[in-house]
Amino acid sequence: MQKLDQRIGAMINLVKLPQNNTFEFNFDQDIDWVRDILIELNENATDKTPEEYLKETSLTIEGEVVKRQKPEMGEYLLVKLQMNAHYATECIRTLKPMKMDLEIESQICFVDEELAETELFTDADETYVDNESWNLYFYTKRQIEFKEVIHEQLFINYEQYPVLDADSPLDLGEDTTN
């Protein structure tokens, strides 16, 4: 396995990846495009700006990538990844600030978009490769929009309705002494 140089980032150019070599990657919010995603994760917290929360929150994305080729699939990319986010939000019941943790493991297979309408991939969102099930994504002109896939994976799993304490009484701000 090789450590990654500049071959993996927000965009992945398949031309730059040698076939059958596995590369490891590890990103955090020190990288601009990862920081942008973390800022978006922090947008529902209203007691500070999303940028102000960067010192208190984190996003790490790590994994490995390997490019392969098969006659029926052409050139394809397999990505195993682990994402960990600690982000700011607010409770939908009380509107109090809170932090959430999100851990995601995913296996993604990228194939050429020209195969999207073939019998093998029509209406598919998963594929079976190397005896494992992989989420299916398509690339265009040997370019993979990796940032967009990371963003989608995070927000599919993002807690849309966070609750600080489901059993706590609601503070409705009303005088109930009458």
Residue 64 lies in a domain: yes
Residues 137 and 156: beta-carbon distance below 8 Å? no
Lookup: tokens for 54: 């960067």
Q: Is residue 22 part of a domain?
A: yes
The answer to whether residue 124 is domain-embedded is: yes
> Is residue 162 included in any domain, yes or no?
no
Flag whether 39 is in a domain: yes
Percentages (nearest 5) of helix, strand, coil residues in the chain: 20, 40, 40
In terms of pLDDT, which residue wins out, 99 or 120?
99
- Whether 89 maps to a domain, the answer reads yes
Instruction: Return the bridge partners of 135, or none.
Output: 108, 126
> Which residues constitute the domain of residue 139?
2-156
Looking at the 3D structure of the chain, how many domains does it have? Answer: 1
Question: Which strand ranges, in their side-by-side order, compose the sheet holding 22-27?
Answer: 2-3, 22-27, 58-70, 74-90, 97-112, 132-139, 126-129
Note the pLDDT tens digit of each residue in 137-157. 999 999 999 999 999 999 999
Contact between residue 71 and residue 120 where contact means Cβ atoms under 8 Å apart = no
pTM above 0.75, yes or no: yes
Between 94-108, 109-123, 163-177, the lowest mean confidence (pLDDT) is in 163-177
Give 170's pLDDT tier (boundaries 50, 70, 90): low
DSSP structure string for 99-115: EEEEEEEEEEEEEEGGG
CB atoms within 10 A of CB 92: 13
Domain assignment present for residue 87? The answer is yes
Phi, psi of 76, deg, nearest 5: -140, 160
* Residue 83 within a domain: yes
